[in-house]
Amino acid sequence: FFSLPRSYYRGAAGALLVYDITRRDTFNHLTTWLEDARQHSNSNMVIMLIGNKSDLESRREVKKEEGEAFAREHGLIFME
């Protein structure tokens, strides 16, 4: 998926960065995805961080607080 055409960002008003709360590796790759989105979009684009699969609490590997902290650090909107 990382080879998304740069044209996908052109004219976008917003982006959703989604990670799987049951797979730490998806959270660990957020910085790369965020850098790519910011590099190829306009500076006014709204980016939202989404923690997916919150219904699988028993398999959680990424704490909600970690997602909140990442979003706060990078100026993103956050929700699970």
* Distance, first Cα to last Cα, the chain: 22
Q: What is the tens place of the pLDDT at every residue in 27-66?
A: 999 999 899 888 888 888 899 999 999 999 999 999 999 9
Class of domain 6-78: alpha beta
pTM of the model: 0.86
Compute the distance between CA of residue 14 and CA of residue 45 in angstroms, rounded to an integer: 5
pLDDT of residue 60: 97
Which is more confident, 54 or 2? 54
Nearest Cα to Cα of residue 9 among 50, 56, 53, 41: 41
pLDDT(3) > 60: no
pLDDT of residue 6: 67
Give the domain ranges of the chain: 6-78
Half-sphere exposure of 23 (CA within 13 A, CB side): 9
Model confidence at 5, pLDDT cuts 50, 70, 90, reads low
